[in-house]
């Protein structure tokens, strides 16, 4: 079943968010049997996550860890990238950082306050810092990263008092295909 997690960290909003998620899950349970009867077996991923997954596949083909990212501005994809630290000999060339750089250049500004970032893996601490500095409005990520993630795992960057900006965070959308890409990539290297 579709797993939906809405992460709102501000006090008081968590209860309201939990109620919204419960109502949405109830609606999905009611709708899914009808959808299955009509031949629909799964929800299509939004275009930005599909594009991020396509970027992750490009990374895997290039021998990079398969992570892809897309920046959306006013409903339009303005930047996309995949991990490229080996290709560029740049340890900061993570998909999120490259996509944020391209989006800032495309818009001609360093603040991306009206943009969304879609990424296939939970951002690390470096990327979470870049997201905060860019003032990304919403972060969507597919797979959680228990080892290197810094949003809901590890450092939990956006929960720190020192964090300059906290985007809205939506996790789990596209987690299955993103996780499979990562598992396949690392299985081939062992």
DSSP 115-140: EEEEEEE---HHHHHHHHHHT-SEEE
pLDDT in tens, 62-97: 999 999 999 999 999 999 999 999 999 999 999 999
Please determine, for residue 35, whether its predicted confidence score (pLDDT) is greater than 60.
no
Contact between residue 28 and residue 42 where contact means Cβ atoms under 8 Å apart? no
pLDDT at 189: 87
**pTM greater than 0.85:** no
Coil, strand or helix at 114: coil
pLDDT at 190: 82
pLDDT in tens, 161-180: 999 999 999 999 999 999 99
Q: What is the largest CA-CA distance in the chain?
A: 51
Coil, strand or helix at 30: helix
pLDDT at 152: 96
Contact between residue 189 and residue 164 where contact means Cβ atoms under 8 Å apart? no
Task: State the Cα–Cα distance between residues 143 and 5, nearest whole angstrom.
Answer: 12
pLDDT in tens, 114-152: 999 999 999 999 999 999 999 999 999 999 999 999 999
**95-107 and 125-134 are packed helices; what angle lies between their axes, rounded to 10 degrees?**
20
Q: Which residues are catalytic?
A: 96
């Amino acid at each position: 079943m579709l797993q939906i997690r809405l992460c709102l960290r501000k006090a008081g909003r968590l209860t309201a968010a939990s109620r919204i998620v419960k109502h949405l899950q109830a609606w999905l349970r009611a709708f899914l049997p009808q959808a299955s009867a009509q031949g629909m077996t799964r929800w299509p991923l939004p275009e930005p996550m599909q594009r991020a997954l396509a970027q992750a596949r490009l990374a895997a083909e290039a021998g990079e860890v398969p992570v892809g990212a897309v920046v959306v501005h006013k409903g339009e994809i303005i930047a996309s990238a995949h991990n490229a630290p080996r290709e560029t000999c740049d340890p900061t060339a993570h998909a999120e950082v490259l996509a944020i750089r391209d989006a800032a250049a495309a818009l001609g500004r360093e603040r991306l306050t009206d943009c969304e970032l879609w990424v296939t893996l939970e951002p690390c601490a470096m990327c979470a810092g870049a997201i905060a500095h860019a003032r990304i409005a919403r972060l969507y990520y597919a797979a959680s990263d228990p080892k290197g993630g810094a949003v809901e795992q590890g450092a939990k960057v956006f929960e720190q008092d020192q964090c300059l900006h906290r985007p809205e965070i939506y996790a789990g959308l596209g987690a299955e295909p993103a996780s499979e890409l990562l598992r396949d990539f690392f299985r081939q290297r062992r």
